[in-house]
Amino acid sequence: MKSKYTIIFLSALMLTSASSCKKFLEQVPDQRTQLNTVEKVSEILATAYPQADYATFTEAASDNAEDKGVNVGTLDPPNQDAYLWQDVQGRDTGTPTYYWNASYAAIAAANAALDAIAKAPDPTEYLPYKGEALLARAYAHFMLVVLYSKVYDPATANDSPGIPYVLTPEKVVFKQYDRGTVASTYALIEKDLTEGLPLIKNSAYRVPKYHFNQAAAYAFAARFYLFKREYDKVVQYATAAFPGNSFAANIRPWSTKYYDASANEMQILFTQASENSNLLLTEAPSVWARNNSSYRYGMGLNLNNEQGETNVTGTNFSGRKMYSYGVPNYTYLKFKELFIRSSPNANIGIPYTIMPQFTGDELLLNRAEAYANLGKNTEAIADLNTFASTRIRNYNATTQSITPEKIKLFYNTDDLKAGIIQTALDFKKSEFIQEGLRWLDIIRLKLPVVHNIKAVNNTDTYVTLEPEDPRRLFQLPQEVELSGVPLNPR
């Protein structure tokens, strides 16, 4: 499945002559209209978000996946490549190449909008959309640098290769790009983020959850500064997202509403725009909703059992219902496929999956980790208790709340800060299973990943992806070399 946009590094695949090049490059990115009104700019910004899922390959690469066994589940080459930490072959949905291309397509749309706004007779009426375009451009570049470059480390110069930061619409074929450094990439992300965030207005959108609304913008800022380890800013932006500390009403109601829902209802609820926890939703051509539980490399019997284990609360998250398509294929039914037929009577079409990019749940746990790093243990534990209270069926605050003593005992440590951080990470690992988000913590904190490999006789061998292994960086598409961009070393 190919992107409908011309994006950097792919021009050669679409242009066949000098004449056709000139004509093609005169087109705006979506080839629908000139961007000469506020409405038209707002429309193109609907495409300024990566229309691709990263969960397919990041989940398989993480420790939220296991080898279920030979002839168990669906053997899909990209799923297998990612699990084995091999360069993922193919260009279809759910691959690093597809995500890279979709991200630069989104960046092209954002740049087209910014270019049109800069040329508008009265740019002031465009300001909310300028804010959105800047945030969207920053977010796409942020995900690219996280997935395809070394992790930002404030203790180093961060002079390893970043990713090309594209600031203007592409108007030449084979334009040469420089990857810059991780440091320069982060600096440009921060510039776009801090410039765009104050311009965001929820009233600019009919359905704010599909755009960078204010809460989503704050959640992005909190995630960005968590990677930069500027923990005071994580707390600042996370707190701003929900004034009055109203997180309890803005995280997923697993132990109540979700628990009482049917399987079909659950699939609909999880990615609804009306769900308070969903801060930013995007759509992606993807079979993830269809296949995430059935891949050979995914949540199997061991990870399913892990979900039911007693945690630091002294019980388990009994409010979260697991569904099974038969051992060892399990799911939380987080996604429902939307199949768009090519015509009303056709049997072919494109499967789509709605992907939450930011949620109140992640934001709360990010703030808990930041509080702990700032030495504010009481506030951190309060956030963890808010989270846990919505995961335990018939929660009893007297007996099931998290305390410093419970943390120290459960993790066998006298270091309360380390215990709090581990609690937050364990909660995130469990909460975001089958969403691909665990990979971000693995990269950010340089966590080793252990995978089992099952032989034909069902015996296991184990392999470890160490923190400095170059395979932790997903590979760039081969064609980027045409624009002077080097691939990641192997």
Q: Report cis status (omega within 30 of 0) of the bond before 328.
A: yes
Q: Can you give the pLDDT at residue 78?
A: 96
What residues are paired with 67 via a beta bridge?
297
Is the confidence at residue 146, as pLDDT, over 80? Answer: yes
3-class SS at 66? strand
User: Among the listed ranges 18-32, 122-136, 454-468, which one has the minimum average pLDDT value?
Assistant: 18-32
Backbone conformation region of residue 322, classed left if phi is above 0, alpha if psi is from -120 to 50, else beta: beta
- Residue range 305-319: mean pLDDT, rounded: 97
Q: Other CB atoms closer than 10 Å to residue 363's CB: what's the count?
A: 29
Q: Specify if 489 maps to a domain.
A: no
Q: Can you give the pLDDT at residue 342?
A: 84
Q: Specify if 23 maps to a domain.
A: yes
Tell me how far CA of residue 66 lies from CA of 62, 63, 231, 323, 385, in angstroms: 9, 7, 33, 17, 29
Percent of the chain with pLDDT over 70: 93
Angstrom distance (rounded) from CA 290 to CA 321: 19
Q: Are 487 and 480 spatial neighbours (Cβ–Cβ below 8 Å)?
A: yes
Q: Are 60 and 447 spatial neighbours (Cβ–Cβ below 8 Å)?
A: no
User: Among the listed ranges 21-25, 55-59, 259-263, which one has the minimum average pLDDT value?
Assistant: 21-25
Query: In terms of Cα–Cα distance, which of 84, 82, 16, 13 is closest to 54?
Result: 82
Q: Can you give the pLDDT at residue 36?
A: 92
Q: Can you give the pLDDT at residue 472?
A: 98
Note the pLDDT tens digit of each residue in 263-309. 999 999 999 999 999 999 999 999 999 999 999 999 999 999 999 99
Angstrom distance (rounded) from CA 402 to CA 312: 7
CATH number of the domain that 65 lies in? 1.25.40.390
User: Residue 464: enclosing H or E segment and its boundaries?
Assistant: strand 460-465
Q: Specify if 411 maps to a domain.
A: yes
Q: Specify if 490 maps to a domain.
A: no
Q: With DSSP H G I counted as helix, E B as strand and the rest as coil, what are the percentages for the chain, rounded to 5?
A: 45, 10, 45
- Residue range 108-123: mean pLDDT, rounded: 96
Is the confidence at residue 150, as pLDDT, over 70? Answer: yes
In this prediction, residue 21 has a pLDDT band, given cuts at 50, 70 and 90, of very low
Q: Specify if 3 maps to a domain.
A: no
Q: Can you give the pLDDT at residue 347?
A: 86
Question: What DSSP line would sit under 432-459, residue for residue?
Answer: TTTTTTHHHHHHHTT--EEEEEE-TTS-
Q: Can you give the pLDDT at residue 17?
A: 34
**E-assigned strands of 53-135?**
66-67
Q: Specify if 340 maps to a domain.
A: yes
User: Among the listed ranges 30-39, 46-55, 92-101, 392-401, which one has the minimum average pLDDT value?
Assistant: 30-39
Is the confidence at residue 27, as pLDDT, over 60? Answer: no
Angstrom distance (rounded) from CA 52 to CA 288: 10
Note the pLDDT tens digit of each residue in 410-428. 999 999 999 999 999 999 9
Task: Return mean pLDDT, the chain.
Answer: 93
User: Residue 348: enclosing H or E segment and its boundaries?
Assistant: none
- Residue range 233-257: mean pLDDT, rounded: 97
Q: Can you give the pLDDT at residue 18?
A: 37
- Residue range 431-446: mean pLDDT, rounded: 98
Is the confidence at residue 477, as pLDDT, over 70? Answer: yes
Structure tokens at 435: 């969403």
Query: In terms of Cα–Cα distance, which of 364, 51, 373 is closest to 218?
Result: 364
Q: Specify if 2 maps to a domain.
A: no
Question: What DSSP line would sit under 153-213, residue for residue?
Answer: -TTS---SB------S---STT------BHHHHHHHHHHHHHHHGGG--GGG-SSGGGS--
Residue 264, domain extent:
11-483
Q: Specify if 488 maps to a domain.
A: no
Note the pLDDT tens digit of each residue in 384-411. 999 999 999 999 999 999 999 999 999 9
Note the pLDDT tens digit of each residue in 78-90. 999 999 999 999 9
State how many domains the chain has: 1
Q: Are 113 and 154 spatial neighbours (Cβ–Cβ below 8 Å)?
A: no
